[in-house]
């Protein structure tokens, strides 16, 4: 069975850590698929897919930020479609060596997808596919089921001093 990893917590670096793993896998000639929940805007990582063989990234979200306290019907449908897409990836004959579900924990904690469906995905993880779940608010059950859990903690951040998000550093 593949390894399941969770990167969660309030600190910066969850997606960045997952992408670091992706680069390492690609360096060894392995395949990587990243399914981004709640993201539909142009980001540095999305631009990268043009230049890397074996790398696929698919976004399920709008260009706007999601109101997590009151997600729109469209946002909920996009999150469900992202999870459905991930499940299909694991049932096809050619499966990725690494599957990253970026911000899946946020979609889950906002009630946009069901915990049992994410757990089902973990339970059916094929032998040679490794899985990374990123985002704040990972549930206790997901963390118990995962093989590796890392919690990012915010110690110091320039946002607190009014610095705006910077291309390449934040997105």
Instruction: Enumerate domains of the chain plus CATH numbers.
Output: 4-151 (3.40.50.300)
Q: What is the pLDDT of residue 154?
A: 87
**Mean pLDDT (whole number) for 123-141:** 95
**Mean pLDDT (whole number) for 70-96:** 93
Buried b (16+ CB within 10 A) or exposed e, 139-151: beebeebbeebee
17-31, 32-46, 74-88, 135-149: least confident range: 32-46
In whole angstroms, give the CA distance from residue 131 to residue 122.
8
Write the pLDDT tens digit of every residue in 87-123: 999 988 889 999 999 999 999 999 999 999 999 999 9
Confidence of residue 71 (pLDDT cuts 50, 70, 90): very high
**Mean pLDDT (whole number) for 19-40:** 92
The answer to whether the beta carbons of residues 14 and 152 sit under 8 Å apart is yes
In whole angstroms, give the CA distance from residue 116 to residue 141.
9
In whole angstroms, give the CA distance from residue 128 to residue 19.
19
**Mean pLDDT (whole number) for 141-157:** 94
3-state secondary structure of 56: strand
């Amino acid at each position: 069975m593949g390894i399941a990893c969770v990167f969660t917590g309030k600190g910066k670096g969850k997606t960045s850590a997952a992408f670091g793993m992706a680069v390492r896998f690609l360096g060894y000639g392995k395949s990587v698929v990243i399914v981004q929940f709640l993201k539909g805007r142009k980001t540095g990582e999305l631009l990268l897919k043009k230049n890397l063989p074996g790398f696929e990234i698919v976004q399920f979200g709008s260009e706007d930020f999601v109101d997590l306290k009151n997600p729109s019907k469209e946002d909920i449908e996009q999150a469900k479609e992202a999870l459905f897409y991930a499940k299909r990836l694991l049932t096809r004959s050619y499966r990725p060596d690494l599957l990253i579900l970026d911000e899946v924990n946020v979609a889950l904690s906002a009630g946009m997808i069901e915990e049992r469906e994410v757990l089902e995905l973990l339970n059916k993880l094929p032998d040679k596919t490794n899985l990374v779940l990123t985002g704040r608010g990972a549930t206790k059950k997901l963390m118990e089921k995962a093989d590796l859990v890392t919690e990012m903690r915010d110690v110091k951040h320039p946002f607190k001093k009014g610095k705006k998000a910077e291309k390449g550093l934040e997105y």
